[in-house]
Amino acid sequence: MERFDFNYAPFNYLSNPERVMLQKAVDIAFFHNGESIIRPEEPIEFLYVVMKGLVKEIGADGDVVSLYHPRDTFEARGLIEGVSHHQFVVEEEALVYTIPKDVVLKIIESNPRFGAYCYASVADKFASLSNSKNESEFESLFTARVRDAYRDNPTWLEGGDSVFRAAEVLKERKTKSALVRHEGRIGVFTESAFRDIVIAGAHSSDAIHNWAAFNLISIDIDDFVFNALLRMTTFKIQRVVVTENGQPIGTLEQIDVLAYFSNHSHLVAQRLERAKTIDELVDIAGQMTDSIRLLRNNGVRAPQLAQLMQVLNSSLFEKAWRILAPADLYDNSCLIVMGSEGRGEQILKTDQDNALILRESVNPEEAAEVAEQFSATLARLGYPPCPGKIMVNNPAWRKTLPEFKKMVSGWCHAPDGEAMMNLAIFIDAKAVAGDVAMLAEVKEHLQKRMINDAGMLMAFARAVDQFESQSRGFFSQLINRGGSEKMDIKKMGQFPVVHGIRALSLEARIEETNTFERIRHLVQLNVIDEALGQDVAEALSYIMDLRFSANLHILESGSGTPNQVDFANLSTLERDLLKDALQVVKRFKNVIRHHFHITS
């Protein structure tokens, strides 16, 4: 018999003795088109692995809920439980491996990782996947160049500058070292020199060239970061001088290297703090995407990347608004971001989605002018204008505090589609600059207007079915279109979870905006049970991973439609987990429909 292929999940988890045991027991079966391999509620005696052909899984409602291609495994959970609630039917003549139940149970008993794949909860399956994604965690250490970690913003001093002047410059530039020019030589003056200066009893007016080091340990900007770190370790120093074409151009600190590999975003945050011009922000905004790529390569998952980017984006927007807005306007306004940006669930740059709340004392013409500059600046930073014009340069989203309260009340009193969309966007709002108390006041006003308004909440929650027509029968469409159909993972997977959780949180008066934090709070309040909360959170995390990977590929290739995941290009494990995730989404949507009494 043909040798079983152990090079894919979950069989790549098996030890050599377990592989021998499986190989001895496995058999091959052939099934014709339309033949049922597993029928609902009937005993299951084998674990099946597709060799050739196509098998479809049909749910209790008659929908095709998944497709199984070569190397795909089914129906592990049903095998353990004894029966499956679904039917597995051959769509294209299938040749399958059959692994006896007793062999599968023995392997599960001896191999927890294989067992987790077969029988773990959905949450545990996704968690197991995340733990296996770190194989290339330190690969970038040996490929990154000095120019990747080097901060191109050197501090220079003259050898004749006083010690006091050096202290002022280092404090102002928030750096620990500076390059020194003196009599045709280049040296480095570091923060640690002040210790020697104090011990020597030197005067603050003394020239710093007496305390600068001119015997430099350097590295070329195109050399490897690993070599820079090795040089620092060898010479027991905390920095090296960076050269380009043999000429010193700056320093690379040990903390910069460590930050680059542990959290490249640390460098971005430092530059944001020091930035004083819009041109500097444009350069920093480009570096943010590089940070994301590095962290992704080091195994960081989409939800964590999104929360990191919320922090960086908030700092970027705040700095841009502070640079553009006069002090009086800054102090008497509240700049907010909304939607995925407000929730902390956006990774790559997306359309602007912001608003401005103003004190009544603000000059409206000045606010309009600065708002226009701000929207144009965000476009320069890589955030395109919002097609729906939900931006501060639109007067509809730039209002005084009383006007904003009135607008929010109006959404509640006239719960049509547009009003509910605006409400959903605003509920996720987060203040990023100015007087943050104004946003809190508007949200408090919203809560008071919504007391016991079951009709409005039902109308709001109904959007969970907004894309139901696209998700229903998706796998049937794959069969009809030859398997080349792409799935809008945002509409089919992410949006229903995000909006359903948002609706429950609105009803429960939960203040958090991040979906994962909302889920945790809803579980604590017993609004949803703990098992469902874990499944929903892990399914959403996996869906975000798939969406991010697809969109990052588009960014790098320069072509493609956002949020589209090609089911045919996913690995066996990815398809299996996507099927599980979509089943969780479907189950959660039913919970939302029942909770808010939504009828078709």
CATH code at 569? 1.20.120
Q: Could you give the CA distance from residue 325 to residue 371 in angstroms, rounded to a whole number?
A: 8
Q: Are residues 441 and 468 located together in one domain of the fold?
A: no
Domain endpoint, select from 119, 135, 154? 119
Q: Could you give the CA distance from residue 213 to residue 206 in angstroms, rounded to a whole number?
A: 16
Q: Could you give the CA distance from residue 156 to residue 250 in angstroms, rounded to a whole number?
A: 9
Strand partners, 434: 334
Phi/psi of residue 462, each to 5°? Answer: -55, -25
Strand partners, 52: 95
- Say if residues 48 and 73 touch (Cβ distance below 8 Å): yes
Q: Are residues 441 and 310 located together in one domain of the fold?
A: yes
**Is residue 468 assigned to a domain?**
yes
Q: Could you give the CA distance from residue 363 to residue 437 in angstroms, rounded to a whole number?
A: 20
- Say if residues 204 and 162 touch (Cβ distance below 8 Å): yes
Q: Are residues 441 and 309 located together in one domain of the fold?
A: yes
Q: How many CA atoms lie within 13 Å of 129's alpha carbon, on the beta-carbon side?
A: 27
**Is residue 286 assigned to a domain?**
no
Q: Are residues 154 and 216 located together in one domain of the fold?
A: yes
**Is residue 327 assigned to a domain?**
yes
Contacts of 453 (CB under 8 A, 6+ apart): 412
**Is residue 277 assigned to a domain?**
no
Q: Could you give the CA distance from residue 574 to residue 303 in angstroms, rounded to a whole number?
A: 18
State the CB neighbour count (10 A cutoff) for residue 53. Answer: 19
CATH code at 45? 2.60.120.10
pLDDT at res. 475:
64
Q: Are residues 107 and 230 located together in one domain of the fold?
A: no
Q: Could you give the CA distance from residue 596 to residue 457 in angstroms, rounded to a whole number?
A: 7
Sign of the CA dihedral running 569, 574, 575, 580: negative
Q: Are residues 329 and 467 located together in one domain of the fold?
A: no
Q: Are residues 234 and 321 located together in one domain of the fold?
A: no
Pinpoint the alpha helices (H) of 264-382: 265-274, 278-297, 302-324, 327-331, 339-343, 364-380
Domain endpoint, select from 210, 241, 263? 263
**Is residue 285 assigned to a domain?**
no
**Is residue 280 assigned to a domain?**
no
Q: Residue 516, exposed/middle/buried by CB under 10 A (0-12, 13-18, 19+)?
A: buried
Q: Could you give the CA distance from residue 558 to residue 560 in angstroms, rounded to a whole number?
A: 7
Strand partners, 566: 486
pLDDT at res. 137:
40
pLDDT at res. 476:
61
Q: Are residues 430 and 461 located together in one domain of the fold?
A: no
Strand partners, 336: 355, 431
Q: Could you give the CA distance from residue 532 to residue 243 in angstroms, rounded to a whole number?
A: 56
Give, in degrees to the nearest 5, the angle at Cα 492 between 505 and 559.
120
CATH code at 347? 3.30.460.10
Nearest to 188 by CA among 244, 259, 131, 242: 242
Q: Are residues 565 and 475 located together in one domain of the fold?
A: yes
* 3-class SS of residue 19: helix
- Say if residues 57 and 74 touch (Cβ distance below 8 Å): yes
Q: Are residues 332 and 462 located together in one domain of the fold?
A: no
Q: Could you give the CA distance from residue 576 to residue 119 in angstroms, rounded to a whole number?
A: 13
Give, in degrees to the nearest 5, the angle at Cα 145 between 140 and 151.
110
* 3-class SS of residue 333: strand
> Which long-range contacts link 484-489 to residues 24+ away (Cβ below 8 Å)?
484/566, 484/568, 485/567, 486/561, 486/564, 486/565, 486/566, 486/567, 487/564, 487/565, 487/566, 487/567, 488/563, 488/564, 489/543, 489/546, 489/547, 489/550, 489/563, 489/564, 489/565
Q: Could you give the CA distance from residue 320 to residue 311 in angstroms, rounded to a whole number?
A: 14
DSSP string, 246-282: TEEEEEEEHHHHHHHHHHTHHHHHHHHHH--SHHHHH
Contacts of 28 (CB under 8 A, 6+ apart): 1, 2, 51, 95, 96, 97, 98
Q: Are residues 400 and 349 located together in one domain of the fold?
A: yes
Structure tokens at 445: 């006003």
Any idea what DSSP says for residue 213?
A: B
Nearest to 104 by CA among 34, 210, 11, 222: 11
**Is residue 160 assigned to a domain?**
yes
Domain residues for the domain of 547 are 457-595
What is the tally of structural domains in the chain? 4
> Does the global pTM surpass 0.95?
no
- Say if residues 163 and 204 touch (Cβ distance below 8 Å): yes
Domain endpoint, select from 410, 426, 446? 446
Structure tokens at 394: 């639109």
Q: Which residues of 550-572 are buried (b: 16+ CB within 10 A; e: fewer)?
A: bbbebeeeeeeeebbbebeebeb
CATH code at 248? 3.10.580.10
State the CB neighbour count (10 A cutoff) for residue 279. Answer: 10
Q: Could you give the CA distance from residue 535 to residue 530 in angstroms, rounded to a whole number?
A: 9
Q: How many CA atoms lie within 13 Å of 425's alpha carbon, on the beta-carbon side?
A: 21
Q: Are residues 233 and 370 located together in one domain of the fold?
A: no
Query: Per residue of the chain (600 residues), what is the pLDDT tens digit?
Result: 668 989 888 898 899 999 999 999 999 999 999 999 999 999 999 999 999 999 999 988 888 888 888 988 998 888 888 899 899 999 999 999 999 999 999 998 888 778 877 766 566 666 655 554 444 444 455 567 888 788 777 899 999 999 999 999 988 888 888 999 999 899 999 888 888 888 888 888 889 999 898 988 999 998 888 788 778 867 778 889 999 998 899 888 877 776 665 555 556 776 787 888 999 999 888 888 877 877 777 667 888 888 888 888 998 999 999 999 999 999 999 999 999 999 999 988 889 999 999 999 999 999 999 999 999 999 999 999 999 999 999 999 999 999 999 999 999 887 788 899 999 999 999 999 999 999 999 999 998 887 667 888 998 999 998 887 666 666 666 655 554 568 889 998 999 999 999 999 999 999 999 999 999 999 999 999 999 999 999 999 999 999 998 998 888 888 888 999 887 788 777 887 888 888 899 899 999 999 999 886
Residue 187 amino acid letter: G
Nearest to 356 by CA among 445, 252, 439: 439
Q: Residue 273, exposed/middle/buried by CB under 10 A (0-12, 13-18, 19+)?
A: exposed
**Is residue 483 assigned to a domain?**
yes
Give, in degrees to the nearest 5, the angle at Cα 243 between 239 and 244.
150
Q: Could you give the CA distance from residue 529 to residue 107 in angstroms, rounded to a whole number?
A: 32
